[in-house]
């Protein structure tokens, strides 16, 4: 993992920034998975848990992984208050480094990862995440597109990718359903226009 985005970086970032007051799930996740029947999901790089909680509220059982203990602590608290104790048990929070942690193969009906700048070899990470998708299941990868001037100005270039680059790592066992550069208006950052790379693919049954 490059020094700037290692475990210490993320932990320090969460410790020095207040918890999100109202964690909201990513718009690409909600748009791309809305019609899926709930099952087992993996949220890789879950942060403060907004995506995992949203999925659990819709019936998914989620394994939510992050390298930052502070983020996971906040995520647990958010799940307990948003879901109640009963449904909060639908989420297993796992502290692990995605650059070395390998999820079980062909296990999850949905594997999702949003804006995770995890290491200098993203293709390897996405290959491991893709391998974790069950037959008939969905892979969703969302990140910063190279056209995103806002993040390009402050993040190193290896953070950016296109959906086609991720799709190129998938073989004939996959059907690519979405591969787009999608814009959205930022809630913060002065309302800047952000560009997301959005890749959704389905492993054929
Ligand atoms: C920009 S945040 C995005 C959080 C969440 N996915 C979202 O969309 O709101 C990136 C997250 O990825 C986590 N992360 C980064 N590198 C990681 C790694 N190598 N292993 C596990 N988690 C990592 C960070 O701790 C952080 O919570």
* Residue located nearest, by CA, to atom 16 of ligand 1: 118
179 phi, psi to nearest 5 deg? -145, 95
Mutational test site, ligand 1, from 5, 10, 117, max ligand atoms within 8 Å of CB: 10
Query: pLDDT at position 137, please?
Result: 98
Q: What parts of the chain have a pLDDT lower than 50?
A: 1-3
146 phi, psi to nearest 5 deg? -55, -25
Query: pLDDT at position 157, please?
Result: 65
pTM of the model: 0.95
> Using a 6 Å cutoff on CB, does residue 47 contact ligand 1?
yes
Instruction: Estimate the crossing angle of helix 69-88 against helix 7-16, to 10 degrees.
Output: 70
* Residue located nearest, by CA, to atom 4 of ligand 1: 47
Tokens coding 199: 């890749």
> Using a 6 Å cutoff on CB, does residue 201 contact ligand 1?
no
* DSSP SS3 for 98: coil
> Using a 6 Å cutoff on CB, does residue 11 contact ligand 1?
no
- Give me the CATH topology for the region 3-203: Rossmann fold (3.40.50)
Domain ranges of the chain: 3-203
């Amino acid at each position: 993992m490059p020094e700037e985005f290692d475990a210490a970086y993320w932990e320090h970032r969460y410790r020095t920034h207040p918890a999100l007051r109202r964690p909201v799930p990513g718009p690409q996740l909600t748009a791309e998975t809305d019609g899926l029947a709930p099952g087992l999901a993996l949220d890789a790089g879950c942060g403060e848990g907004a995506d995992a909680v949203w999925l659990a509220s819709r019936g998914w059982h989620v394994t939510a992984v992050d390298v930052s203990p502070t983020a996971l602590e906040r995520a647990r608290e958010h799940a307990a208050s948003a879901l109640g104790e009963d449904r909060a048990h639908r989420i297993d929070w796992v502290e692990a480094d995605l650059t070395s942690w390998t999820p079980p193969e062909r296990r999850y009906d949905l594997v999702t990862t949003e804006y995770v700048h995890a290491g200098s070899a993203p293709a390897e990470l996405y290959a491991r995440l893709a391998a974790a998708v069950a037959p008939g299941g969905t892979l969703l990868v969302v990140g910063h597109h190279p056209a995103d001037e806002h993040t390009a100005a402050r993040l190193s270039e290896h953070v950016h990718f296109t959906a086609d680059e991720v799709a190129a790592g998938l073989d004939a066992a996959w059907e690519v359903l979405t591969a787009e550069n999608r814009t959205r208006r930022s809630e913060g950052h002065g309302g800047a226009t952000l560009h997301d790379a959005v890749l959704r693919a389905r492993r054929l049954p």
